Structure 1
Amino acid sequence: MANLKIKLVRGFQGRKDDQIATAKSLGLRKIGNEVIQPDNAATKGKIKKISHLVEVTEA
């Protein structure tokens, strides 16, 4: 199964609580943090919700 590398490139200042919770559920805490998550429907849904805050590449 493929994996995705997700990097937080924008901060949480002024964001809605649900967007912050989504980023934290992916394991992103600070700008510059990178995590590797499985490429599945749940992860893609989370990425879509915070797409303006993250940068996604294939791992």
Structure 2
Amino acid sequence: MAFEAGLDLLVFANQQTYAPAIVEDTVDNVVNLVHAGRITEARIDQSVARVDALRPKS
């Protein structure tokens, strides 16, 4: 839902109930959204570009 709402970055706090596969499960969910046509690879690329633009350049 976060990506469909336009979020570019997710932050996880994995302390209350530790879920060792949280990252893998999230990636699988995003892949499934792409396969289902709910988000596009271009949308992911746009998010990556926006987040990358915020990173300090050395």
- Could you say which TM-score interval applies, normalised by the shorter chain? under 0.3
TM-score, with structure 1 as normaliser: 0.23
TM-score, with structure 2 as normaliser: 0.23
Q: Higher strand fraction: Structure 1 or Structure 2?
A: 1
From the CA coordinates, give the structure whose radius of gyration is larger: 2
Q: Higher helix fraction: Structure 1 or Structure 2?
A: 2
